């Protein structure tokens, strides 16, 4: 897809090899691979209902809907301007989604949900961006525990809760999941290259889960020459599940 700006200052970009069309601001916070990987790890099935908190322009829920047609989507984005772009993206991709411009951690009553997921703001140190949109999307202003509690609250028993996070914060996330009574934690490392430490992780738990925790084989993203590995290509371009 072209990244030329539209008349309203947005670009139209393609995800999953062009299967997903994504309008997003030319300036400000733009979707990268995190929401695509997040969507690939959500074990949704046709006919189920999913919730995304902090959906931005909709990259994650659109990728999930492209892989699993027939899901019901509820998505929440506190920035009303960005939420309106998500509404446009859902229509552009033929996805039926209820998109709420609400505070992600103070949600209205929702129906029982099968899966909930988020790519929450997680930077805590350094200098926050002077741009309000980038700062809000990337810099943490509420603790993970509040995000996890909001995601877990409407989940059915054994429903899944999935996050993409920096690897340095997996212990904090696991503790938050336990506090929200979500167990059977599954951790998937995302390695930049073979032999390098993971910089990102996917972490998932089930509400009321009591089984053992798992560390999964993980995903290597790049070959030594910088190109995508075949496994990463299958997820990022072909829409394969993790």
Q: Is 67 a domain residue?
A: yes
> Domain range spanning residue 64?
10-26+33-236
Distance CA(96)–CA(73), nearest Å, equals 7
Q: Please state whether beta strands 214-215 and 219-220 pair in parallel, antiparallel, or not at all (unpaired).
A: unpaired
Distances (CA, A) of 38 to 200, 204, 210, 235, 239: 11, 10, 23, 10, 12
- d(CA 35, CA 117) in angstroms, rounded, equals 10
Closest CA to 67 of 236, 240, 242: 240
Average pLDDT by consecutive 10-residue portion of the chain (242 residues)? 61 97 90 96 98 97 98 97 97 97 89 96 52 44 88 97 96 96 98 96 98 97 96 97 98
Complete DSSP assignment for 165-188: EEGGGHHHHHHHHHHTTEEEEEEE
18 is a domain residue: yes
Token readout for 172 is 């904090």
- Residue 113 covered by a domain: yes
The reply to whether 242 falls in a domain is no
- Residue 166 pairs in a beta bridge with 200
Q: How many domains in the chain?
A: 1
Q: What is the CATH number of the domain that holds 223?
A: 3.40.50.150
Please compute Rg for the chain using Cα positions: 17
* Closest by Cα among 145, 119, 113 to 54: 119
* The pLDDT value given to residue 146: 92
Residue-level pLDDT at 124:
58
The pLDDT, as a whole number, for residue 107 is 87
Other CB atoms within a 10 A radius of the CB of residue 167 amount to: 15
- Residue 2 inside a domain? The answer is no
- In-domain check, residue 5: no
Q: Is residue 186 part of a domain?
A: yes
Predicted pLDDT of residue 19: 97
Q: Which stretches does DSSP call E strand in the chain?
A: 10-15, 20-25, 49-53, 72-76, 97-100, 113-118, 155-166, 182-191, 200-207, 214-215, 219-220
Q: Helix, strand, or coil here: 40?
A: helix
CA distance 30 to 25: 7
What is the model's pLDDT at position 130?
46
């Amino acid at each position: 897809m072209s990244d030329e700006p539209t008349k309203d200052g947005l670009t139209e970009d393609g995800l999953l090899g062009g299967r997903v069309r994504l309008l997003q601001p030319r300036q400000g916070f733009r979707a990268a691979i995190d929401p695509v990987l997040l969507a690939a790890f959500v074990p949704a099935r046709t006919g189920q209902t999913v919730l995304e908190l902090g959906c931005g322009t909709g990259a994650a829920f659109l990728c999930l809907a492209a892989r699993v047609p027939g899901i019901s989507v509820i998505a929440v984005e506190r920035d009303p301007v960005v939420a309106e772009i998500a509404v446009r993206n859902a229509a552009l991709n033929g996805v039926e989604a209820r998109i709420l411009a609400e505070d992600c951690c103070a949600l209205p009553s929702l129906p029982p949900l099968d899966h909930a997921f988020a790519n929450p703001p997680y930077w805590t140190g350094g200098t926050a961006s002077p741009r309000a949109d980038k700062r809000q999307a990337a810099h943490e202003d509420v603790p993970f525990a509040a995000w996890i509690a909001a995601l877990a609250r409407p989940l059915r028993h054994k429903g899944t809760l999935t996050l993409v996070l920096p690897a340095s914060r997996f212990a904090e996330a696991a503790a938050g999941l336990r506090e929200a009574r979500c167990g059977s934690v599954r951790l998937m490392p995302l390695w930049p290259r073979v032999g390098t430490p993971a910089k990102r992780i996917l972490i998932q738990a089930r509400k009321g889960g009591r089984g053992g925790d798992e560390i999964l084989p993980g995903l290597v993203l790049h070959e030594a020459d910088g190109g995508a590995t075949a496994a990463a290509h299958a997820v990022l371009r072909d829409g394969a599940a993790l």
